C-alpha cells in the first residue's frame, strides 16, 4: 500500500494537544515517588519538551504511617538512580524479608506462620504444595519449601556487605521511616532528576469546557497550568473527588478495621536486635503491627471500632508493648477502606491515598503507588487525543489490582479458627466474603494454587505462592489427587533437598541484621 493512499487517513489524526507538562499535586511518599518514576523514565526529555512539577502545601504534615514495602521498591529506587547506601543512611531503613502472623489461626501463644518474600524452591518448575500436603512431616510449609522463615528466626540479614546495592541472597524489601523517606525522595528528585518543586496551597481548580483540568490556582504561586494532573493530595482528594467528582467505594462490609493507633517505641539499647520481618499479632478485634527500623520500632493497633472501644483497643496495644508504652502517646488514625470508582478521568489521575486505602496488613500502600506511577510513566500519553484510551487501560488494571488485594487481605480473616470474639466470628460470615474469593476457596479445596494458576497478570501484587503461604500457614486443607503428584515426584524431591541445602548455606553465611545495617551506614554497599 502506497503512502499516497494512507496520507488522507493519517492526516485526520494530526496531534494538536501534546502532553508536555505534568503537574503532581501533593507530596509525601506518593507524590515524590510518582515524580521520581516519571522524571527518571523521561529523563532525556526533561527540561526540553517535558516538565514534571510537584506542588505541595507548606502547611500540611506528612501522614507518615506506611513503613513497610514490597521488593518492587528496590527496582523503583534503582531506576530512579537512588543510592541504596544513602537510602539506608538517611531513611533509618532496615531490611524486610516478609511477615510473621501470630495468633491468627487459633489464637494460641504458639500459633504463627510466615509469609516470606522468597518463592518456594524451583517454583517455576514444580508445585511443592501437593507434595508437602501428602507428606507426613511436622515441618511448616514455609520451612519445607523456603529458607526465609529460618533466616528471620535467626535474626539474619538477606545479604552481606559484599553484595552489591539492590542485589540479594534472599529476596527483600524495606522497613523505613516514612517521615524521612519523603524528604529524601524530594532532594533526589529536585537535585538529580530535574523535578520542579512549588510550595503552595491550592485554592481552586480551574476547569476547561470539556471537563478537563486547565490549571490549579494557588495562594503563593498563582496559577499553574498543566496537561496531566496527578492527585496525590491524600484523603482530601482535591482533584479526583473535589474537581472531577469521582465517588469513593467503601469495602467496610468486607474489611472491618476502620481505626489505627500508632506509637514509636524506642529500643532498650542501641544494640537491640532488629527483626527483619513485619510482625502482625492478632488481637480481640484486629491486629498489631510491629516494625523495626534502625532507631526504633513502629507499633500500631489496627481495629474495628464496631467491635471494640477506643479505650479497650489502646489497652491491648499498651499490653503488647509493655512498660515502655507508659511514656508514649498513641496517635489515632482513621481508616476508610475502599477505593475510587474510577482512578483516571479526563486529564486527572489519582495515586496514593487519593485513590484509596486499605488496612496495612500486607503493606500494599506503597506498592500500589509504585505500580500506578510506573504505568503512568511507561504509557504516558503523547497527546490529549489518546489520553482516554490509556485512562481506560489504567482504570481496568488498577481496579483489578485493588480487587485482588481486598481478596488477599480477607483471606487472612476467613481462614481463622478463632471464635473467641464477635470480630472473628463476623469475619467468617458468608455475606462478608467476596464472591470471587468464595470461588477460589472452593477451587483450592481440590487443587492447590500454583504458578500455572490464574495469577497470570503482569506485575501481580500477590502471586500464587503468596496464597500458598497463607493458606497452608493457617492450616487450610487441599485434597491431594494422584494427578497432582504425577510425574513430579522426582522434581519435588530434588527441590526439597535443594531447599535444605540452601537453608543451611544461608544460615551459615548471612550476617546479623543489625550488624549489616551498621556496616552499610559506616562503609556503604558496593554501587551497581
Q: Which residues are known catalytic residues?
A: 96
CA dist 248 → 274, 306, 337, 369 (Å): 38, 21, 10, 18
Residue 81: other Cβ atoms inside 10 A: 12
Q: Which three cell numbers stand for residue 340?
A: 475510587
The whole-angstrom separation of Cα 523 and Cα 161 is 9
CA nearest neighbour of 69 among 35, 27, 97 = 97
What φ, ψ does residue 25 adopt, rounded to 5°? -105, 115
Q: How many CA atoms lie within 13 A of 332 on its CB side?
A: 10
The whole-angstrom separation of Cα 369 and Cα 352 is 5
E strand spans, 320-365: 331-334, 338-340, 344-345, 348-350, 356-357
469 neighbors 78 (Cβ within 8 angstroms): no
The whole-angstrom separation of Cα 171 and Cα 118 is 5
Q: Please tell me what DSSP assigns to residue 18.
A: B
* Cell 467476596 found at: 434
Kindly give, in sequence order, each residue whose CB lies less than 8 Å from that of residue 296, ignoring residues fewer than 6 positions away: 92, 264, 265, 266, 267
Sign for the pseudo-dihedral over CA of 483, 486, 491, 495: positive
The whole-angstrom separation of Cα 281 and Cα 103 is 6
Q: Is 32 strand, coil or helix? A: helix
Enumerate the H helices of 300-421 as residue ranges. 310-321, 364-378, 387-414
Q: Which three cell numbers stand for residue 178?
A: 516514612
The DSSP H or E segment spanning 435 is helix 435-444
404 neighbors 252 (Cβ within 8 angstroms): no
Residue 276: other Cβ atoms inside 10 A: 28
Question: For 98-118, b where at least 16 C-beta lie within 10 A, e where not — what string?
Answer: bbbbbbbbbbeeebbbbbbbb
Amino acid at each position: 500500500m502506497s503512502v499516497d493512499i494512507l496520507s488522507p487517513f493519517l492526516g485526520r489524526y494530526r496531534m494538536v494537544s501534546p502532553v508536555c507538562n505534568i503537574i503532581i499535586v501533593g507530596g509525601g511518599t506518593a507524590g515524590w515517588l510518582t515524580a521520581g518514576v516519571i522524571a527518571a523514565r523521561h529523563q532525556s526529555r526533561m527540561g526540553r519538551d517535558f516538565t514534571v512539577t510537584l506542588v505541595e502545601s507548606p502547611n500540611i504534615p506528612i501522614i507518615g504511617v506506611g513503613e513497610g514495602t514490597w521488593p518492587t521498591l528496590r527496582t523503583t529506587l534503582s531506576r530512579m538512580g537512588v543510592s541504596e547506601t544513602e537510602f539506608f543512611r538517611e531513611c533509618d531503613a532496615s531490611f524486610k524479608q516478609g511477615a510473621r502472623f501470630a495468633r491468627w489461626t487459633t489464637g494460641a501463644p504458639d500459633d504463627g506462620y510466615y509469609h516470606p518474600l522468597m518463592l518456594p524452591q524451583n517454583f517455576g518448575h514444580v508445585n511443592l504444595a501437593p507434595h508437602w500436603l501428602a507428606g507426613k512431616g511436622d515441618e511448616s510449609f514455609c520451612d519445607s519449601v523456603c529458607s526465609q522463615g529460618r533466616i528471620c528466626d535467626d535474626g539474619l540479614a538477606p545479604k552481606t556487605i559484599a553484595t552489591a546495592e539492590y542485589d540479594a541472597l534472599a529476596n527483600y524489601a524495606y522497613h523505613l521511616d516514612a517521615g524521612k523517606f519523603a524528604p529524601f525522595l524530594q532532594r533526589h528528585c529536585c537535585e538529580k532528576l530535574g523535578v520542579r518543586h512549588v510550595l503552595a496551597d491550592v485554592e481552586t481548580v480551574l476547569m476547561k469546557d470539556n471537563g478537563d483540568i486547565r490549571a490549579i490556582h494557588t495562594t503563593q504561586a498563582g496559577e499553574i497550568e498543566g496537561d496531566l494532573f496527578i492527585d496525590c493530595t491524600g484523603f482530601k482528594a482535591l482533584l479526583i473527588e473535589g474537581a472531577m467528582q469521582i465517588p469513593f467505594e467503601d469495602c467496610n462490609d468486607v474489611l472491618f478495621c476502620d481505626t489505627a493507633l500508632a506509637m514509636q517505641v524506642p529500643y532498650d539499647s542501641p544494640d537491640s536486635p532488629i527483626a527483619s520481618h513485619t510482625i502482625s499479632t492478632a488481637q480481640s478485634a484486629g491486629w498489631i503491627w510491629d516494625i523495626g527500623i534502625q532507631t526504633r520500632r513502629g507499633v500500631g493497633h489496627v481495629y474495628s471500632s464496631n467491635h471494640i472501644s477506643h479505650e479497650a483497643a489502646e489497652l491491648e496495644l499498651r499490653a503488647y508493648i509493655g512498660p515502655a508504652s507508659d511514656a508514649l502517646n498513641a496517635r489515632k488514625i482513621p481508616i476508610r477502606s475502599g477505593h475510587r470508582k474510577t482512578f483516571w478521568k479526563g486529564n486527572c489521575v489519582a495515586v496514593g491515598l487519593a485513590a484509596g486505602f486499605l488496612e496495612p496488613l500486607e503493606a500494599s500502600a506503597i506498592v500500589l503507588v509504585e505500580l500506578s506511577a510506573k504505568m503512568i510513566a511507561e504509557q504516558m500519553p503523547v497527546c490529549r487525543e489518546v489520553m482516554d484510551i490509556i485512562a481506560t487501560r489504567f482504570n481496568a488494571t488498577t481496579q483489578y489490582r485493588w480487587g485482588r488485594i481486598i481478596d488477599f487481605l480477607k483471606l487472612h480473616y476467613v481462614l481463622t479458627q478463632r471464635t473467641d470474639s464477635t470480630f472473628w466470628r463476623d469475619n467468617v460470615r458468608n455475606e462478608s466474603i467476596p464472591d470471587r474469593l468464595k470461588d477460589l476457596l472452593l477451587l483450592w479445596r481440590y487443587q492447590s494454587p500454583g504458578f500455572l494458576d490464574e495469577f497470570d497478570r503482569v506485575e501481580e501484587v500477590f502471586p500464587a505462592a503468596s496464597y500458598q503461604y497463607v493458606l497452608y500457614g493457617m492450616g487450610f486443607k487441599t485434597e491431594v489427587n494422584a494427578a497432582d503428584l504425577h510425574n513430579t515426584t522426582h522434581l519435588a524431591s530434588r527441590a526439597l533437598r535443594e531447599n535444605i541445602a540452601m537453608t543451611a548455606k544461608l544460615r551459615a553465611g548471612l550476617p546479623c541484621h543489625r550488624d549489616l545495617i551498621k556496616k552499610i551506614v559506616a562503609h556503604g554497599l558496593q554501587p551497581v
